[in-house]
Amino acid sequence: MAVPDFADTAAFPTFAGLPEIVTTPSPPQEHTTSDSSNNQDEDWFLLGQIKDNMTITQPTLVLFDRAGSPFALMFDGLGPGGVDFRARGLRKGSTAVVPRARRTPPKDESKRGFVAVAPEDAGSVRAVPGPLPRVIELGKWLRERRAAGAVGCDGCWREDGEMKKCTACGELQYCGKECQAKAWNDSHKIDCKIIKAIDAIWKHDD
Ligand SMILES: [Zn+2]
Ligand SMILES: [Zn+2]
């Protein structure tokens, strides 16, 4: 799967833009969750920068979506220690990626609702170790870069000679150690981890 288009708010909706879980009981002959409006091949991902761990009775995070709106992410059917947030990289300041997230509407109109993750989907929630705006920027950049095909050194832009790829992310490439060290100290030491995580979630097939 190629890196999806981070500029596309259908692929990366806000919390308010998520499809809602239908909570009204359906007639007996129908399935309780309506999938008719959704193409099974179509995927979307809710992105949220983690603000706080608010676990009391079940694992719960408070996040900000790409519009800056806060929402709660709850892991259903699990005890307070049911998700090892630390081991999963789901820590304050990092960005959580929730595939096919649905919004549970509030019972009370003054509230905002939340996103509940079923126990069998808990493992599908992934983390990118960086703030959400940077994750979106690098996601866009990575998609364009792969479409264009990278040529030349990412430090000095020379195109002749053999290039060596960054061994951590496997994405940036350099003509030599000098360019690599400079890029690393400039910004790549932070971006490298983000690129690596994006790549692991949306593996490209080549
Ligand atoms: Zn160079
Ligand atoms: Zn790298």
Ligand nearest, relative to CA of residue 142? 2
* Residue 85: Cβ within 10 Å count: 20
pLDDT tens digits for the chain (206 residues)?
689 999 999 999 999 999 998 766 656 554 445 444 444 457 999 999 999 999 999 999 999 999 999 999 999 999 999 999 999 999 999 999 999 999 998 888 778 889 999 999 999 999 999 999 999 999 999 999 999 988 899 999 999 999 999 999 999 999 999 999 999 999 999 999 999 999 999 985 54
**Centroid of ligand 1 to alpha carbon of 183 (angstroms):** 9
Delimit the domains of the chain by residue range. 1-130, 150-201
**Which ligand has the shortest distance to the CA of 160?**
1
CB 90 within 8 Å of CB 62: no
pLDDT of residue 203: 84
Residues lining ion ligand 1 (Cβ < 5 A) are 153, 155-156, 175, 179
How many angstroms separate the Cα of 108 from the Cα of each of 12, 72, 88, 100, 104?
A: 27, 15, 32, 24, 12
Query: Which residues partner with 165 through β-bridges?
Result: 173
User: What is the residue-wise DSSP string for 32-53?
Assistant: SS--TTS-TT---EEEEEEEEE
Amino acid occupying residue 51 = K
Q: Which CATH number fits domain 1-130: 1.10.10.60, 2.40.37.10, 1.20.1250.20, 2.40.50.140?
A: 2.40.50.140
Distance from the CA of 129 to the center of ligand 1, in angstroms? 27
